[in-house]
Amino acid sequence: MDLNYTPQELKFRDELRAWLETQLPGPEETRAASKSPDPWVRFNFYRDWQRRLHQGGWTGVHWPKEYGGRGATLMEQVIFIEEMARAQAPQVAGVLGLMLIGPTIVHHGTPEQKQRFLNRILSGEEIWCQGFSEPNAGSDLANLRTEAKDMGDHFLVNGHKVWNSYGWAADWCALVTRTDPEAPKHKGLSYLLVDMKSPGVEVRPLLQITGETEFCEIYFNNVQVPKQNVLGRINDGWNVAISTLMHERATLGADMRIVFARQLNRLVELTRKISRGGKPLYDDPLVRQKIGQAYTEIELLRLNQMRSVSRIAQTGAPGPEGSILKICWSELNQRFQQAAQEILGLYGQLEHGKHAIDDGAWSYGFLRARGNTIEAGTSEIQRNIIGHFVLGLPKSY
């Protein structure tokens, strides 16, 4: 066991820190842009930031060098995510392309597909969304019905996808469709790369409980997709899609931990500043219990993540253990946000105005956390995965 970074890891981190030192937008600029009511102002700001990262060679750090990445190890990838979160760097616009779809194209794509798509994902020139879930295919993803009919030189796509993050801004969609309705449900799927400007694609933003429109629903009405845009083999789309989901779970929590740690630091600071009954909140043993519990859970997330990354580094591939991390970070955040609400009392619910603590960040955090146990695979699905794939219990569905 050695928890110190290797010289190579330190070099990677220091290079990144030095770059961020000169290139990171100022905190005021970032705050103003990310608070803009116009989603396009936010989005363009994030896209500009991705361009700048790309020019510095800092997009797709975990992609192989031959495809424009840095060939970073998994540990370096985690360092990258953590350093970005630590510096409070803006999001990048093309996060799905960089984290999920790009690596899937690297793994399954033809030389032509790699040539056509990869560099534009890195630079942010083209933004991607995922077309996986449907109104009747959520946790039971393989039950999806969006149909892609073989028309000789192209597929004709008809169907309805939902929960597509950044669908409103996307240029391309990684779309899982049914190409063989006769085959068992996992075996008749194909993974298509669909141009969102194709005739027949209609995007409708969905308003979320936070008031944001991060995700959308997408309708496909007689959309023509050329044959060369199948990723992987026809009717092997399930395996292609699963490799993407594994990537999603292996690293998704890495930046969350930093965000939680920063929020906890802030909460501790608030318990020193806010007084009740003439004493700082901190004098209340119940408040201290909540702080101690939040620290414990955030620290446990860090340690589980470090152990998991070490294990993946040894075995080479993300495995079902990612489900443990997903459960940890999503459920701890809900408990943590609730604890923060209890500590802040009446003030916790304020969204705006001069009395709102941290400009409403805590009421937003409370609502947003509800989505954590649903997005990227519900807690129930994660427990099914652990039960079957880790513990070897019979499949329940």
Partner 1 sequence: MQFDLNETQLMLKKGAREFFAAECPMHDVRRIMATDTSFDDKLWKKIADQGWTGITFDEAYGGAGLGLVELAVLMEEMGRALVPGPYLSTVLLAGNAISLAGSEEQKQKYLTRICSGTARASLAVVEAEGVWSLASLKMKATPVEGGCKLKGAKLFVTDAGVADFFVVAAKAREGLVLAVVDARARGVKLAPMPALDQTRKYYEVSFNNVTGEVLATGEAARAALERTIDLATAALTAEMAGGMQRVLDITVQYAKTRKQFNTPIGQFQAVQHQCADMLVFTESSRSAAYYAAYAIEENTPDARLAVSAAKTYASEAYRETGNRGIQVHGGMGFTWENDLHLYYRRAKACETMFGDAAFHRDRIARELVAPVKTAAPVSAEPEAVHA
* Contact between residue 241 and residue 186 where contact means Cβ atoms under 8 Å apart: no
Binding letters toward partner 1, positions 31-70, x by CB under 8 A: ----------------------------------------
Report the C-alpha gap between 2 and 13 in whole angstroms: 17
Nearest to partner 1 of 34, 296 (CB atom): 296
Nearest to partner 1 of 83, 126 (CB atom): 83
Smallest gap from Cβ 292 to partner 1, in A, equals 3
Smallest gap from Cβ 71 to partner 1, in A, equals 18
Nearest to partner 1 of 99, 267 (CB atom): 267
Q: How far is CA 90 from CA 23, 52, 233, 307, 387, in A?
A: 12, 12, 37, 28, 37
Residue from 139, 288, 342, 345 touching partner 1 (CB under 8 A): that is 288
Residue from 1, 209, 317, 346 touching partner 1 (CB under 8 A): that is 1
140 forms part of the interface with partner 1 (CB under 8 A): no
Nearest to partner 1 of 122, 287 (CB atom): 287
Residue 373 tokens read as 């146990």
89 forms part of the interface with partner 1 (CB under 8 A): no
* Closest among 270, 250, 266 to 298, alpha carbons compared: 266
278 forms part of the interface with partner 1 (CB under 8 A): no
327 forms part of the interface with partner 1 (CB under 8 A): yes
Smallest gap from Cβ 239 to partner 1, in A, equals 24
Q: Which residue type is seen at 190?
A: S
Report the C-alpha gap between 247 and 239 in whole angstroms: 13
Residue from 291, 343, 344, 357 touching partner 1 (CB under 8 A): that is 291
Characterize 94-130 residue by residue with b for buried, 16 or more Cβ atoms within 10 angstroms of its Cβ, and e for exposed.
bebbbbbbbbbbbebbeeebbebbbbbbbbbebbbbb
Nearest to partner 1 of 1, 209 (CB atom): 1
122 forms part of the interface with partner 1 (CB under 8 A): no
Report the C-alpha gap between 343 and 293 in whole angstroms: 13
* Closest among 194, 239, 235, 227 to 104, alpha carbons compared: 239
310 forms part of the interface with partner 1 (CB under 8 A): yes
Residue from 32, 183, 207, 303 touching partner 1 (CB under 8 A): that is 303
392 forms part of the interface with partner 1 (CB under 8 A): yes
Contacts of 104-110 with CB under 8 Å at 24 or more apart are 104/174, 104/191, 104/231, 104/240, 104/243, 104/244, 104/247, 105/193, 105/231, 106/63, 106/64, 106/67, 107/243, 108/191, 108/231, 108/232, 108/240, 108/243, 109/231, 110/228
19 forms part of the interface with partner 1 (CB under 8 A): no
389 forms part of the interface with partner 1 (CB under 8 A): no
22 forms part of the interface with partner 1 (CB under 8 A): no
Helix (H) or strand (E) holding 218: strand 215-226
Residue from 18, 151, 207, 306 touching partner 1 (CB under 8 A): that is 306
Is residue 248 among the annotated active site residues? Answer: yes
Report the C-alpha gap between 122 and 102 in whole angstroms: 8
Residue from 218, 261, 340, 343 touching partner 1 (CB under 8 A): that is 261
273 forms part of the interface with partner 1 (CB under 8 A): no
Report the C-alpha gap between 193 and 175 in whole angstroms: 6
Per CB under 8 A, the segment of 36-44, 134-142, 208-216, 303-311 that binds partner 1 is 303-311
Residue from 95, 142, 234, 268 touching partner 1 (CB under 8 A): that is 268
Task: For the chain, report the end-to-end CA distance as a whole number of angstroms.
Answer: 39
267 forms part of the interface with partner 1 (CB under 8 A): yes
Residues 6+ positions from 22 with CB-CB distance below 8 Å: none
**What string of DSSP letters covers 87-141?**
TTPPPPTTHHIIIIIHHHHHHH--HHHHHHHHHHHHHTSS-EEEE--BTTBSSSG
Catalytic pick from 134, 217, 248, 321?
248
Given the rule CB under 8 A, which residues bind partner 1? 1-6, 9, 75, 78-79, 82-83, 86, 258, 260-262, 264-265, 267-268, 271-272, 282, 285, 287-289, 291-293, 295-300, 302-304, 306-307, 309-311, 313-314, 321, 324, 327-328, 380, 382-384, 386-388, 390-396
The residues carrying an active-site annotation are 248
